[in-house]
Structure 1
Amino acid sequence: MPTGWLISGVMVAAILGGALIAAQGPIYARMAVGLGNPIIATLIAFLIATCAISLVAILTRVPMPDMRAVRTMPPWIWLGALIGVYQVLVSIFAVPRLGVAPFILLVIVGQICASLLYDHFGLFDLKIRPVNVQAMLGATLVLIGALLVIGR
C-alpha cells in the first residue's frame, strides 16, 4: 500500500476514533443513569473493555511480556489506567451538565496544553520538542474556538 494511502487510512481511523470518543460520554452517562451509580457504570465499562481486549489478545496470540521487563518499567507507567478511570467518571458527570461538544472541546484544550508541556520538557521519556510561537498560536486558536462553541 502506498504511503499516502496508509497515512490517509490512519487519519480516517483517528477521526473515527475521535467520533467514538465523543460518543463515550453520553453512553457512559446513560449507563450510569440506568444502573443508578456512576462507579458501577465505570466498573462495568472497564470489565467489558477487559473482556474485549482479552479476547483480542487470545485470538491474535499476543505473547505475554517478560515479567523482568515489567518490573523494570517506571512506576508512573501504571497511571495510564487510572487516567482512563478518571476520564470515564468525569465524562459521566460532565456530559449531562455541559453537553457533548463543550465537554470534548474542554478535553481537547486540556490535551493540547498538556501535550505542549510534555513535549517541551520531555516528560514521560519523550524527546524534548521546545514549544514555539506557532504552537502557542495554534493552542490559543483552539482555546478561542472552544470558547466560541461553548458560548453558543
Structure 2
Amino acid sequence: MQWLPAFFAILAGISNPLQSGSNSALLKTIQAPIVAAFIVYAIGAACLLAAMPFLGFPLKTSISKLADVPWWAYIGGLCNVLFLMCTLLITKKLGSATFTTIVVISAVITSVLLDHFGLLGFEVRPATWLRIGGAALAAIGVVMIAVF
C-alpha cells in the first residue's frame, strides 16, 4: 500500500468525528439545522476558493464533460447533505463513539457490497469469507468501543 493515500484516508477518518462534533456544536448554538448546514457548506466553499490558485479551476473543460458523467456520480452531493444533516441532528444524542460506530459499520458493509458487485465504478473485489470475516471483526471492534 502506498503511504500517501493511506495517510489521507487516516486524515479523512480523523475528520469524521471532528466534523460531527463541530457540526453538532454549531447547531446547538444557533438552533437552526438548515442555517448550520449552510454555514458548513459556505466554509467549505471558501476553502475550495482558497485552493483554486494552487489546484486550478478548469470550469470550461469540466462543463464540456458533464454529459459523459454517469447518473449515479451525482449522488455524492446528496450523500454529503444526508451525512451533514445526520451529524447536525443526532451526533450529540447518540454520542460521538456510538454515532461513529454506526457510521463505520454501515460504511464497511456498504463498501464490501460495492466492491463485490463493482458498483459505482469500483473494481470488482469478491466478498470472500476472509473479507466478510474482516468486516465482521471490524463491526465487533467498533461496537465494543461504543458499548463498553
Query: What TM-score, normalized by structure 1, do the two folds share?
Result: 0.87
- What CA deviation, in whole Å up to 9, does each residue of 1:10-44 have, x standing for no partner? 43333233212210111000101111111210111
Map 1:2-151 → 2, pairs under 5 A: 7-64=2-59, 65-151=61-147
Give how far 1:88 is off.
Answer: 0.9
CA distance in structure 2 between the partners assigned to 1:24 and 1:98 by the alignment: 15
Partner Cα distance (1:9, 1:50) in 2: 25
Structure 1: runs of 5 or more not aligned = none
Identity among equivalent positions (%) equals: 24
| TM-score after normalising by structure 2 | 0.89
Cα distance in 2 for partners of 1:144, 1:59 equals 42
Equivalent position amino acid for 1:134 in 2: L
In 1, Cα distance between the equivalents of 2:30 and 2:62?
A: 39
Specify every segment of 5 or more residues in structure 2 that has no aligned partner in the other structure, as ranges. Answer: none
Amino acid at match of 1:142: A
Paired residues in the alignment total: 147
**Residue 9 of structure 1: how far off its partner (Å):** 4.2
Instruction: Tell me the amino acid that sits aligned with residue 83 of structure 2.
Output: Q
- CA-based RMSD: 1.7
Q: Which of structures 1 and 2 has the larger relative contact order (alpha carbons within 8 angstroms, sep 6+)?
A: 2
